[in-house]
A and B are shown apart, each in its own frame.
Chain A
Amino acid sequence: MALLQISEPGLSTAPHQHRLAVGIDLGTTNSLVASVRNGISVVLNDEHGRAMLPSVVRYFADGEVAVGEAAQALQSEDPANTIVSVKRFMGRGLSDVGDISQLPYRFAQEESQSSGHGMVQLRTVAGIKSPVEISAEILKVLRTRAEASLGGELVGAVITVPAYFDDAQRQATKDAAKLAGLNVLRLLNEPTAAAIAYGLDNASEGVYAVYDLGGGTFDISILRLSRGVFEVLAANGDSALGGDDFDQRIYCWILEKNQLSALNPKDTRLLLTMARTAKEQLTEHDEAHITAVLSGGEGIDNVLTQNEFESMSKNLIQRTLQPLKRALRDAKLSINDVKGVVMVGGATRMPQVQQAVGEFFGQTPLTNLDPDKVVALGAAIQANLLAGNQSRDDWLLLDVIPLSLGLETMGGLVEKIIPRNSTIPTARAQEFTTYKDGQTAMSLHVVQGERELVADCRSLAKFELRGIPPMVAGAARIRVTFQVDADGLLSVMAREMGSGIEAAIEVKPSYGLSDAEITRMLQDSTQHAKDDMQARALREQETEASQLIDAVQHALMQDGELLEVSQRAHIESQMNALRDALQSLDHMVIKRAIVALNESTVSFAQSRMDKSVKRALAGKNISELEIK
């Protein structure tokens, strides 16, 4: 006999057609799955009652795969084939990963056709695995758990990603879900999910801060809610700061107290575990007892007070406040603009963290939901909505794109087609034209970033529109449409309006940017605004100058005989002056030389025009010339 859940009024499902949908928090350290049951978002536990699945995958030579606790428990046994924190590799190339000598894995680089960059790959005992495949193993376990818990097949899932994830990382996440047999209803930004879990989407409009201190990473996001849309105003953080650092502080304190040094790996692990337990105890109690016996027989028996812990971890907490200030500055907001603060991540349970954040913002942060679960709970609410289990169907939360999307134009400049923070899904079109006479192909280079020059932005894809009918420069009308779907993924189409020829590309970007790089790119764009403006002006003049030189040379070749020697010498000297001006790298100098060359050719252009009119008129009678 089936077990039924209570539906919203009027939304009972037909038998065997339950719209089962889940939210998945695919985390760096732990992953969770949640679903709305009987009107309430709940995290789905495994058969041992555990909510969190460690994001650890171990490959065996026989093709077996272990995921979660089983893989984590024996991590030190086979580090090369036990992949932890695979999220850091999603959509990343080898050059993004950083110092790989610190990691126990054997890396390989995937070859990518489109750009020469590919996602990093790991050589395991079971063959080469991509981060997408590894993440899919984690998702498969969560999917199986969800289907067992909900008693049926899932119609879809909402998967959360960090706000700073770029297209490549989002695409990789989507691919992993597909590989795990999940239908992705949408990807949702993690801070947005946390805000939804707290019901802020139903709150009045305003600015909210999401403070996410996880096991090994710290993220701060400033969100603005307006008309049901959460917009990420700024994201900042520290990818090497988390709860583990607090454990490390206690661990060092134990070593110091007991005058220990250089422990073997087993004792290190033991003391780190004790340190973590002590940290957790200090959330509820004023002091924690730390007792252990090391492999050499030394006994450890210490008492750590909340006060001692606070003072030793003070500067760790201070380190989270710097990115907070930067994020507010990026968003051009002050502390008083923040209406609410949401706490995410297990490490925010520490009373001193809550206190410091509360003092910083001058208000008590929201902590009544489990900070480990809040992202998954919010994702589940969104999934339930998208699956059609909520009556308020006008309530559809939108996201925004994190960095502007544009196209390279002549001179290496960027034409922004979709500005950053546009709500998605969205589509924008713009018309471009040819640069040279008789040009039959156009190369389209799709870039992402805030800067004016292509070289300072990130290349996403390149493709060509071929078969443009030969026309004079500027006559062709090529309409380029950028379309971003609800998951923030981009497709670009170019169409020559006269002939109807088309070319299109789905941007499956080859590799991504790091958190720090995105932040840097955003900061650079404001810091270099003036440089960029000048660079753009220079490139524009350079482009115009070379176009003019081409045209004049062409004319001289065709109709040079129309000119007297002195006239021709004057034009040529102005042309050389323009060539010299190009060397100056000063856009005003180039502009003046362009004007001079243009002026020197006025009478020449006149004679050419007369000549072509004469040629057109020769041998025709007047009636043929009538304009219809």
Chain B
Amino acid sequence: MSVTLSEAAAKHVQNFIAKRGRGIGLRIGVRTSGCSGMAYKLEFADEADDDDLQFDSYGVKVLVDPKSLPYIEGMVLDYAREGLNEGFKFNNPNVKDSCGCGESFQV
């Protein structure tokens, strides 16, 4: 099992990292907070930690810390457009319940 990006998401990430001018990949994780328990973490990665799990998705290196993995295992990160807004969408099979907007969730 792993955490993967859709092709569209990978393209965007590559583009963003190129324009940012530095970064080895994308860090995905979870942390406790928010109205419904857990919240996603989505950051540029400038360096990998020793215990990071690394996945490769369409040429993008995805880093996940081992504590986060159980919450997001099997997740596919997509890039979507909704009206004027656009951004990354988390399709996480582990989610049992989430708040209205889906920004925080429970497993």
Contact = CB atoms under 8 A, between A and B. Distances in A.
Among the interface residues A6, A47, A145, which one has the most CB atoms of the partner chain B within 10 A? A6
A4 B87 contact: yes
Given A16-B103, A38-B16, A3 B44 contact: no
Interface residues of B, number: 34
Given A39-B20, A40-B16, A3 B82 contact: yes
Nearest to A13: B39
Given A1-B101, A15-B39, A39-B44, A149 B88 contact: no
A44 interface: yes
A212 B31 CA distance: 47
B84 A145 contact: yes
Given A3-B85, A6-B26, A40-B19, A12 B43 contact: yes
Contact of A2 (B20, B84, B103): B103
A5 B79 CA distance: 10
B26 to A, nearest CB: 7
Interface in A35-58: 37-40, 44-47
B88 A14 contact: no
Contacts of B16: 6, 38-40
Interface in A10-28: 10-12, 14-16
B67 interface: no
Given A12-B41, A15-B39, A40-B20, A148 B104 contact: no
A4 B20 contact: no
Given A14-B33, A15-B34, A39-B20, A149 B85 contact: yes
B42 A4 contact: yes
A151 B87 contact: yes
B44 to A, nearest CB: 6
B45 interface: yes
A622 to B, nearest CB: 82
Contacts of A46: 84
Contact of B85 (A10, A15, A39, A151): A151
Contacts of B35: 15-16
B27 A3 contact: no
A44 B90 contact: no
Contact of A9 (B40, B44, B104): B44
B84 A9 contact: no
A6 B88 contact: yes
Nearest to A16: B103
Nearest to A1: B102
Contacts of B41: 7, 12
Contacts of A47: 83-84
Given A3-B89, A15-B35, A149 B13 contact: no
Chain A binding surface, main DSSP class:
loop
Chain B binding surface, main DSSP class:
strand
B86 interface: yes
Given A14-B39, A39-B19, A5 B31 contact: no
Interface string B34-66: 110001111111100000000000000000000
A8 interface: yes
B19 to A, nearest CB: 5
A10 B89 CA distance: 20
A149 B82 CA distance: 9
A12 B42 contact: yes
A4 B84 contact: no
Contacts of A45: 84
Given A6-B42, A9-B45, 19 more contacts: A1-B90, A2-B87, A3-B88, A5-B42, A6-B13, A6-B26, A9-B27, A12-B39, A12-B41, A14-B33, A16-B34, A16-B101, A39-B44, A40-B16, A40-B19, A44-B84, A47-B83, A47-B84, A148-B84
Interface of B: 12-13, 16, 19-20, 26-27, 31, 33-35, 39-46, 80, 82-90, 99, 101-104
20 contacts: A1-B89, A1-B102, A3-B87, A4-B88, A4-B103, A6-B43, A9-B46, A11-B43, A12-B40, A12-B43, A15-B33, A15-B99, A16-B103, A16-B104, A39-B16, A39-B19, A39-B20, A47-B84, A148-B84, A151-B85
